[in-house]
Amino acid sequence: MTYRRLMVLAGALLPALLTAPLAKAQTYPIKPIRLVVPFPPGGATDLFARTVSQKLADRLGQPVVVDNKPGAGGTLGSDIVAKAPADGYTLLLSTSSTHSIGPNLNSKIAYDAVRDFTPISHLGNAPSIMLVPNTSPARTIKEWIDHARQNPGRLNYASSGNGTIVHLTAELFKSQANLFVLHIPYRGTALAIPDLVSGKIDVLFDSLPTGLPHVKDGRLRALGVTSAKRTPLAPDLPPISDVLPGYESVTWFGLFGPQGLPADMVQRLNAAASQVLSDPDAIDRLTRLGIEPVGGTPAQFARMMALESAKWKKIIQDRKITLE
Q: For residue range 211-266, list pLDDT tens digits in order.
A: 999 999 999 999 999 999 999 999 999 999 999 999 999 999 999 999 999 999 99
Q: Is the pLDDT of residue 19 over 60?
A: no
Q: For residue range 96-123, list pLDDT tens digits in order.
A: 999 999 999 998 999 999 999 999 999 9
Q: For residue range 175-197, list pLDDT tens digits in order.
A: 999 999 999 999 999 999 999 99
Q: Is the pLDDT of residue 18 over 70?
A: no
- The mean of the pLDDT values for the chain is 93
Q: What does the pLDDT read at residue 8?
A: 41
Is 127-242 assigned to CATH 3.40.190.10?
Answer: yes
d(CA 102, CA 107): 9
Q: Is the pLDDT of residue 148 over 90?
A: yes
Q: Is the pLDDT of residue 21 over 50?
A: no
Amino acid at position 287, single letter? T
d(CA 22, CA 263): 12
Q: What does the pLDDT read at residue 26?
A: 62
What percent helix, strand, coil does the chain show, rounded to 5?
Answer: 45, 20, 35
> Is the Cβ–Cβ distance between 309 and 85 less than 8 Å?
no
Q: Is the pLDDT of residue 6 over 70?
A: no
**What residues does each domain of the chain span?**
30-126+250-318, 127-242
Q: For residue range 38-96, list pLDDT tens digits in order.
A: 999 998 899 999 999 999 999 999 999 999 999 998 999 999 999 999 999 999 999 99
Peptide bond into 209 cis (omega under 30): no
Q: What does the pLDDT read at residue 179?
A: 98
Q: For residue range 257-312, list pLDDT tens digits in order.
A: 999 999 999 999 999 999 999 999 999 999 999 999 999 999 999 999 999 999 99
pTM of model > 0.85 = yes
Q: Is the pLDDT of residue 11 over 90?
A: no
* β pairing state of 156-159 and 203-207: parallel
CATH architecture for the domain at 30-126+250-318: 3-Layer(aba) Sandwich (3.40)
Q: Is the pLDDT of residue 23 over 50?
A: no
Q: Is the pLDDT of residue 17 over 90?
A: no
Mapping DSSP to helix (H, G, I), strand (E, B) and coil, where does residue 78 land?
Answer: helix
> One fold for both 30-126+250-318 and 127-242?
yes
